[in-house]
Every structure is written in C-alpha cells, then in structure tokens.
C-alpha cells in the first residue's frame, strides 16, 4: 500500500475537487492563520477580522490589507 500525503486543513474535502486545488486551499489557509506583526506596536498579535480587514489584539489597531495576508511581502522588503 502506498503512502498518503498530509493535506492539512484541506483534508475536510476528502477526495473531492482534486489534489491541486486542495493543496492551494491548504496553503492559503496556512498563510491566513499564521501570526503577523502589528505595524503600530510591533507585536505578533494581528488576526483577521474579515476579508482584507486585520486587527491587533494588543493595541486594538484596525487596518486594511490583502484578503489572506495583512501586507504584501514585497512591501515589507522595501
């Protein structure tokens, strides 16, 4: 019997929708749930309120960003 890949949060779909789509969903959900640093207080307490809206649990700063990440990585580098 062959080995099975771990699909993470996309495992709830079972065999439906194809492997590529489930892998993309798992990657997006992993990005969305990771900790991000607040631009105001520099503490890692930013959570997603809704699509494109982010809020820091520590200082209460609410700001806009992308749908699944608060900022583009290229913006952080500049």
Q: Is pLDDT at 2 greater than 80 in this prediction? A: no
Alpha helices in the chain (DSSP H): 19-33, 73-77
pLDDT at 55: 94
| pTM (predicted TM-score) | 0.70
pLDDT at 61: 93
Domains, the chain: 1-33 (no CATH), 35-78 (2.20.25.30)
- Residue 45's pLDDT band, with cuts at 50, 70 and 90, is very high
Q: Span 17-25, mean pLDDT?
A: 90
Alpha-carbon span 78 to 20, nearest angstrom: 32
Count CA atoms within 13 Å of residue 12 on its CB side.
Answer: 5
pLDDT number for residue 4: 65
């Amino acid at each position: 019997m062959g080995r099975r890949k771990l699909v993470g949060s996309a495992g709830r779909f079972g065999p439906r929708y194809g492997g590529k789509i489930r892998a993309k969903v798992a990657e997006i959900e992993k990005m969305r749930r990771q900790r991000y640093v607040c631009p105001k207080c520099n503490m890692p307490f930013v959570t997603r309120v809704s699509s494109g809206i982010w809020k820091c649990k520590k200082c209460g700063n609410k700001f806009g960003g992308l749908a699944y990440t608060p900022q583009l990585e290229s913006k952080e580098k500049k």
